[in-house]
């Protein structure tokens, strides 16, 4: 048996070097991607085993130290260690990166993308390693190393097709947003160092920092990590980056990378002492806004991947609602809220990671087969691509929070926690927090509408446009990740009753509160019968499915056109489009998302050909971020004077700076 810390370290190293051998091969070589994928699979397997072992080891209370290497900076070292929270996120990282690299074997073939396949593989491995460093970091210096490496490798991944203008724009915006967040984090960690005199992630005590100082740290954390997580209104970089990246990169970005923002928030709020009520309320409010408007924006998208990206914002919102609830529970010293809120949030992190990567991979399969991301150009994909359609259906049902899939259980826990805020006997009440319940329900309903649109328009009906190639299901390297993720998504939904109590340790350590085992047991008690009910539901679903299959195979049937109310010449163009399906809901929310449409006016009896066009602008980006930055750019234009493009003048700058330094210091 290997030691778990060695396992994790080797997983880290394997992942970071996985793309390097391929650099020495021809750019069209088909061997290189297999080497990279095998390294990633080894790294992922080893890493998962290591994470599970470490989680078991540190369940007893002590962290597992991986490595500590002094850096040539005062008080700083490169230190990695595992605690239950890190192990929890590590599992997600290694799972998605492994499956993603397998998927990339067919999705991003070097023969089809000779210019950037090597780059993609290199940074995919590096991103995985950096993500792992972020969650393993024992101090803020190491954390920032990982964070920066993660941001930069993700930038190169988003900008994989850097010969395209729109891809470059999305990449730059991601990089700028990412660094704005990093700036906030630098400030926060520097302030923390000033207050404590060390860089370690150790809980701060209330005699070390004043409440106002703690609130400053909290706001910086919320800004820096919220930007990475895509919490509204800091989400503006996210849809573009997710849509422009190759699909397995979107999967790891949406499934894992944005969760690093959540990880950071959980980690930081766990270090800060005595959260006042407004922290939790603020997180809860932001989460609610993200959950509702993320889904409304998702509804109105025409691009399959942008739709999924906005749905990620909604899910981050749900996670934030759970976290906000847990923070409120800490402020009011109520373990029940903490357990339900934080367990729900963390489980939703896992669940969203599973179903969103599943959805992105399935969407990528469709895009790979049809070469279009536009929902309204697709249709009828379920027939040629049954595996993909099934995987997308599992992902979509899970994203809607439908039982028995995994998304249901985490949302259930959060709902349960929110109902507790109404004031049960023997518990404090905060009825204001219960506004999140209808909001969550609203976003759930919008999610169902949204995925009915995504699944119905893309996979059902008949193709809306003739395609150059007949689409077909992918081969096994690309199909296997879909199958694995679907299976895990379903089983995690059923097994939550046995997983959730294991998060008790994380909740207790995070909140600094202590409670009886009986409280935890009674709080999570409803999960056990729920699990059995879900198994029953799954069983009946399977039974109905098999029965239908049997019936279809044994009874003769004929294919006809849909009944057209007596209309005899239906064409594929008469089908509902994605736009028309959601038009009503989008117009309901028109006050907030400001859809733009160009509608033809039909006056005569035999109108000429006309077109309808609609679009939903990204309001935060178009109305706030872009104008502010344009104005800033104009103000700062005179800085261009410094850039003279002459070596001689640059040398003079250096001399002048040296002279200033010599005379001042």
Summarize as ranges the residues that interact with other proteins (CB under 8 A).
640, 643-649, 651-652, 655
Is residue 84 within 8 Å of residue 509, measured between CB atoms? yes
Which residue, among 589, 582, 586, 610, has the nearest Cα to 598 in the 3D structure? Answer: 610
- Please list the alpha-helical segments (H only) found in 230-271: 238-244, 247-252, 259-271
Nearer of residues 212 and 641 to other proteins, judged by Cβ: 641
Q: In terms of residues, how long is the chain?
A: 665
Nearest distance from residue 641's CB to other proteins, in Å? Answer: 11
Nearer of residues 605 and 654 to other proteins, judged by Cβ: 654
Is residue 381 within 8 Å of residue 297, measured between CB atoms? no
User: Euclidean distance between the first and final Cα of the chain, in Å?
Assistant: 58
Nearest distance from residue 638's CB to other proteins, in Å? Answer: 14
Which residue, among 387, 258, 248, has the nearest Cα to 305 in the 3D structure? Answer: 248
Nearest distance from residue 658's CB to other proteins, in Å? Answer: 10
Nearest distance from residue 652's CB to other proteins, in Å? Answer: 5
Q: How far apart are CA 78 and CA 68, in angstroms?
A: 6
Nearest distance from residue 643's CB to other proteins, in Å? Answer: 6
To 10 degrees, the CA torsion angle through 382, 410, 530, 507? 150
Q: How far apart are CA 13 and CA 649, in angstroms?
A: 44
Q: Which residues are 139's β-sheet partners?
A: 200
Phi, psi of 210 (to 5 degrees): -80, 160
Nearer of residues 563 and 662 to other proteins, judged by Cβ: 662
Nearer of residues 422 and 658 to other proteins, judged by Cβ: 658
Nearest distance from residue 389's CB to other proteins, in Å? Answer: 49
Nearest distance from residue 645's CB to other proteins, in Å? Answer: 3
Nearest distance from residue 182's CB to other proteins, in Å? Answer: 25
Nearer of residues 588 and 651 to other proteins, judged by Cβ: 651
Nearer of residues 542 and 649 to other proteins, judged by Cβ: 649
Nearer of residues 557 and 639 to other proteins, judged by Cβ: 639
Q: How far apart are CA 506 and CA 88, in angstroms?
A: 9
Nearer of residues 30 and 649 to other proteins, judged by Cβ: 649
Angle at 294 between CA 219 and CA 389, to 5 degrees: 135
Nearest distance from residue 123's CB to other proteins, in Å? Answer: 27
Nearer of residues 544 and 651 to other proteins, judged by Cβ: 651
Nearer of residues 31 and 651 to other proteins, judged by Cβ: 651
Nearest distance from residue 636's CB to other proteins, in Å? Answer: 13
Nearer of residues 613 and 650 to other proteins, judged by Cβ: 650
Q: Environment class of residue 258 by beta-carbon count within 10 Å: exposed (0-12), middle (13-18) or buried (19+)? A: buried
Nearer of residues 602 and 652 to other proteins, judged by Cβ: 652
Which tokens go with 208? 């070390």
Is residue 222 within 8 Å of residue 281, measured between CB atoms? no
Nearest distance from residue 639's CB to other proteins, in Å? Answer: 11
For residue 160, give the H/E element and its range. none
**DSSP code for 374:** B
Q: How far apart are CA 484 and CA 257, in angstroms?
A: 20
Q: How far apart are CA 225 and CA 250, in angstroms?
A: 19
Phi, psi of 444 (to 5 degrees): -65, -45
Is residue 593 within 8 Å of residue 586, measured between CB atoms? yes
Is residue 116 within 8 Å of residue 167, measured between CB atoms? no
Q: Which residues are 598's β-sheet partners?
A: 613
Whose tokens are 């932001």? That residue is: 286
Whose tokens are 């409304």? That residue is: 296
Nearer of residues 466 and 645 to other proteins, judged by Cβ: 645
Which residue, among 460, 447, 396, has the nearest Cα to 582 in the 3D structure? Answer: 447
Nearest distance from residue 644's CB to other proteins, in Å? Answer: 7
Nearer of residues 68 and 169 to other proteins, judged by Cβ: 169
Is residue 434 within 8 Å of residue 288, measured between CB atoms? no
**CB neighbours (10 Å) of residue 631?**
10
Which tokens go with 189? 């960690």
Pairing mode of beta strands 64-70, 596-598: unpaired
Nearest distance from residue 169's CB to other proteins, in Å? Answer: 17
**DSSP code for 607:** P
Nearest distance from residue 448's CB to other proteins, in Å? Answer: 49
């Amino acid at each position: 048996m290997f030691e778990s810390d060695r396992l994790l370290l080797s997983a880290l190293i394997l992942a970071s070097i996985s793309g390097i051998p391929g650099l020495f091969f021809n750019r069209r070589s088909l061997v290189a991607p297999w080497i990279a994928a095998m390294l990633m699979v080894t790294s992922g397997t080893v890493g998962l085993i290591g994470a599970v072992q470490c989680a078991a080891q540190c369940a007893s209370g002590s962290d597992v130290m991986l490595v500590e290497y002094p850096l040539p900076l005062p008080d700083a070292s490169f230190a990695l260690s595992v605690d239950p929270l890190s192990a929890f996120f590590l599992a997600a990282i290694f799972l998605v990166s492994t499956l993603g690299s397998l998927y990339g074997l067919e999705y991003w073939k070097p023969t089809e993308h000779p210019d950037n396949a090597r780059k993609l593989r290199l940074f995919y491995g590096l991103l995985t390693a950096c993500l792992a460093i972020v969650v393993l970091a024992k101090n803020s210096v190491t954390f920032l190393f990982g964070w920066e490496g993660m941001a930069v490798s993700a930038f190169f991944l988003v900008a994989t097709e850097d010969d395209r203008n729109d891809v470059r724009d999305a990449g730059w915006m991601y990089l700028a947003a990412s660094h704005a967040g990093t700036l906030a984090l630098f400030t926060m960690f520097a302030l923390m160092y000033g207050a404590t005199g060390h860089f370690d992630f150790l809980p701060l005590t209330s005699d070390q920092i004043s409440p106002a100082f703690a609130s400053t740290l909290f706001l910086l954390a919320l800004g820096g990590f919220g930007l990475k997580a895509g919490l509204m209104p800091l989400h503006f970089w996210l849809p573009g980056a997710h849509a422009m990246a190759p699909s397995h990169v979107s999967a790891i970005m949406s499934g894992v990378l944005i969760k690093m923002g959540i990880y950071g928030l959980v980690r930081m709020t766990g270090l800060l002492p005595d959260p006042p009520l407004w922290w939790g309320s603020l997180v809860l409010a932001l989460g609610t806004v993200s959950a509702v408007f993320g889904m409304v924006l998702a509804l109105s998208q025409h691009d399959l991947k942008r739709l999924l990206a906005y749905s990620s914002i909604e899910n981050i919102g749900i996670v934030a609602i759970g976290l906000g609830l847990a923070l409120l529970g800490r402020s009011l010293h109520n373990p029940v809220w903490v357990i339900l809120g934080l367990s729900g949030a963390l489980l939703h992190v896992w669940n969203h990671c599973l179903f969103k990567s599943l959805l992105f991979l399935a969407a990528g399969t469709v895009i790979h087969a049809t070469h279009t991301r536009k929902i309204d150009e697709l249709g009828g994909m379920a027939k040629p691509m049954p595996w993909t359609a099934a995987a997308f259906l599992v992902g979509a049902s899970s994203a809607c929070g439908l039982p028995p899939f995994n998304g249901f259980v985490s949302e259930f826990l959060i709902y349960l926690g929110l109902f507790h805020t109404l004031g049960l006997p023997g518990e404090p009440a905060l009825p204001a927090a219960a506004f999140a319940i209808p909001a969550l329900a609203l976003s759930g309903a919008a999610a169902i509408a949204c995925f009915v649109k995504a699944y119905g328009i893309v996979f059902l009906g008949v193709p809306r446009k003739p395609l150059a190639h007949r689409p077909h299901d992918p081969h096994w390297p690309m199909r296997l990740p879909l199958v694995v993720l679907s299976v895990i998504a379903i089983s995690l939904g059923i097994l939550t009753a046995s997983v959730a109590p294991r998060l008790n340790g994380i909740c207790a350590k995070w909140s600094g509160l202590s409670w009886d085992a009986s409280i935890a047991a009674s709080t999570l008690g409803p999960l056990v019968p729920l699990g059995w009910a879900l198994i029953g539901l799954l069983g009946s679903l399977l039974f109905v499915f098999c029965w239908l299959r049997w019936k279809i195979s044994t009874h003769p049937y004929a294919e006809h056109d849909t009944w057209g109310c007596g209309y005899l010449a239906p064409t594929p163009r008469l089908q509902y489009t994605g736009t028309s399906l959601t038009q009503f809901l989008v117009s309901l929310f028109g006050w907030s998302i400001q859809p733009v449409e160009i509608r033809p006016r039909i006056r005569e009896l035999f109108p000429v050909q006309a077109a309808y066009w609609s679009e939903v602008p990204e309001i935060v980006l178009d109305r706030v971020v872009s104008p502010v930055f344009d104005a800033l750019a104009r103000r700062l234009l005179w800085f261009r004077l410094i850039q003279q493009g002459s070596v001689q003048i640059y040398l003079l700058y250096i001399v002048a700076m040296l002279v200033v330094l010599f005379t001042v210091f």
